[in-house]
A and B are shown apart, each in its own frame.
Chain A
Amino acid sequence: MTEAATHLSDVRQFHPRAHAALDNPQIRANFRKAMDGLMDKRRNAFAEWDLETLRTLGANVRQQALANLPDLLEQLEKKLTTNGIQVHWARSGDEACEVIRDICVARNAKRVIKGKSMVSEEMELNHYLEEQGIEALESDLGEYIVQLAEETPSHIIMPAIHKNTGEISDLLHEKTGTDRSHDVNYLTASARQQLREKFMQADVGISGVNFAVAETGTLCLVENEGNGRMTTTVPPCHIAVTGIEKVVGTLDDAAALLALLTRSATGQHITTYFNMISRPRQPEEFDGPEAVHLVLVDNGRSSIYQDDQLLDTLRCIRCGACMNHCPVYTRIGGHAYGTTYPGPIGKILMPHLLGLDATRDLPSASSLCGACGEVCPVRIPIPDLLVRLRRESVDGDRVHESRVRGHGLKRSTWEALAWKGWQWLHVRPTLYRLGTAMGARLRRLQPTTAGAWTRYRTSPRLAPRTLHQQLRERQTGSTGAIPARQRGASQ
């Protein structure tokens, strides 16, 4: 409980953290370099493709899966169960943690090795298991580094992107006794050796899932390192954990999304491994886990599912392209957000998971430049969803029934009154003209500063004459004809 409270207060500290990040030249340089590289790689990876048609396919495949979500989940459960994989359901992250603890306790498991899973980060599973006396070790190199540093990932695909080689070398030296070196091959080889021991000792392997195929009962994992294959093959028990929205109908659906996922994420045509698991070890087989479990986690997703517009959030395939292309994310890095999912996708997803009250600054931390929406492989209209959440922050139930937790938290009586007045004035032309004419006349009384807005900008000044006045003068010819260019522009 205290932990959750600390976590929430952390999320609320967005502004101080963003400022600290902006003042940190190393964070700025690391992220700028990495994001520039990723944007180039993505562009090259789609060079020979009809990208817009492909994005439409991705969006339609995901939309169709969502349209049939409850049926697909049931089909998946049935197929997996027939295949010998046990299916569990969890309403919340806490409930999912308990399910996993129970599986571990029943097996008397003390050591867990993990492949990359963002849902487990969302559930804060490692922390929970440690409290239960179960060691949970990350095996993805980036996650391993982040865990050794007692930090959280700063990017969903590249968790340790905020660190440079020198820092990682110092960290590995301090925590594991590896010699200090700037040779990435040496550091990687040391980690391989350390983690191989851990794989052999692990009682349980926990992984995420990129796509769960209902038709065949297949769990698909996308990865480069091979730690995902190790995690799902070496320990005697494999627990896969995923959000309920990750289910798709067919293998063809998964293949189409795979084409988009890896190119959007890291600019790879495909990752080194695409790992498809449909069964535990069979009697005649010599390796693989004897038990496989799937934990389906809701944690706010069924609530997002209720709303036609917010639903688009669930199309996400977690590629991270939105953050790679986000001018805000590139400047402040992933930690400033204080949430499991940073960047644009985090801004539209986390308010549902934690409530708008905890994530109040996230929907506004955007210039609405639209880059995230343009690159999204499944066409999630992220800018529109940001605007929607901003509206939810200020109106909520007073205008229409809201489904977002913590809605209306930014509503201020004065602001509401000001807009009411604005609305009142705008439907009364005579009063409106009178008001603007008064404003123009009294413009010298207008304050020259407007808080934070004018710290780096000049204050806009009211014109000496209103637009109505200027137009009337032009039409009556008192200041000559309207130039052709303006006429064109006004049409």
Chain B
Amino acid sequence: MSARDDILNALRARRGGTISAPTPDFSVVTERPWNAAEKLDRFQRMIESVHGEVHRVDEETWVDILADLLKTRGVRNLLAPLKHTIGTALRESDNPDLPELLSYDQSIEHWQPSLFNEVDAGITSTRGAIAETGSLILWPSADEPRLMSLVPPIHIAVLEADQIFATFQEALGLQHWSRGMPTNALLVSGPSKTADIEQTLAYGVHGPKELIVLVLEG
């Protein structure tokens, strides 16, 4: 018999009979009375507590604010989506402080070494955020591939303020995740970190050393 059948048969022929299990009551993880302002405040407080950097911006100013942030960091280039409005706004901007804009428009196999060694920063959209834990929701796509938010040392994420959910459960429900998951979905809460050397925190061990969140208000 196959390993599969052996294992499933052993489980089905359980000697103890049926297992009783009380129905889980999820209210302890779902009931949060926060209004929009409280959700934004809480999101900001939580993600800042894990070394995330938050800037509240609006449609008019965000490109200039971003250009400043990147200039002070000496960023030479920025990987940006081609189709998303974030990418088109950046490409249309005439701000001279913006770094060179790069596109992720080919398979990783064709340009892996330069993505790993030459790209300074990547900017992506988000599908919202979670106030309770200070987490960004990312669904990477062909326009914003998985490594865009992982490999460059700086990750900039753009969040629309009205897309902040109280809890992960609320996001799962209101966005109907269970109807169809993407290839990869992510919760990102701060920059990459480790405490594996004597419990001392260090950032950027494998992923970005810095996470900058631009919250679009208005």
Contacts and interface: CB of A to CB of B under 8 A. Distances in A.
A binds B: yes
Interface of A: 30, 33-34, 37, 49-50, 53-54, 56-57, 60-61, 63-64, 66-67, 69-70, 73-74, 89-91, 95, 139-142, 145, 158-161, 163-165, 168, 184-185, 187-189, 191-192, 195-196, 200, 215-218, 224-227, 229-230, 233-234, 244, 250-253, 255-256, 258-259, 266, 268-282, 284-288, 296, 298, 302-303, 305-308, 311, 403
Contacts, number: 255
A282 B107 CA distance: 11
A139 B196 CA distance: 12
Contacts of B208: 226
Contact of A277 (B21, B25, B169, B184): B184
In order of increasing CB-CB distance, the 10 nearest A-B pairs are A226-B207, A142-B196, A226-B206, A274-B187, A226-B192, A270-B133, A188-B202, A67-B19, A89-B4, A302-B10
A142 B135 CA distance: 25
A196 B6 CA distance: 41
A29 B189 CA distance: 32
Contact of B206 (A139, A164, A218, A296): A139
B150 A226 contact: yes
B20 A272 contact: no
B154 interface: no
A218 B208 CA distance: 25
A144 to B, nearest CB: 8
A109 to B, nearest CB: 16
B112 interface: yes
B186 A276 contact: yes
Interface stretch (B60-68, B85-93, B140-148): B140-148
A282 B183 contact: yes
Given A230-B206, A288-B145, 9 more contacts: A54-B28, A217-B181, A224-B192, A225-B194, A226-B206, A227-B205, A272-B193, A277-B184, A286-B142
Contacts of B10: 298, 302-303, 305-306
A279 B140 CA distance: 12
A216 B182 CA distance: 10
Interface residues of B, number: 75
Interface string B100-140: 00001111100011001000000000000000111100000
A468 B160 CA distance: 79
A259 B28 CA distance: 11
B172 to A, nearest CB: 5
B116 to A, nearest CB: 6
Contact of A252 (B8, B26, B104, B116): B26
A286 B106 contact: yes
Which of B18, B108, B141, B204 counts the most A-chain CB atoms under 10 A from its CB? B108
B24 A64 contact: yes
A89 B172 CA distance: 30
A225 B206 contact: yes
Nearest to A403: B15
Given A70-B8, A70-B12, A216 B177 contact: yes
B200 interface: yes
Nearest to A163: B198
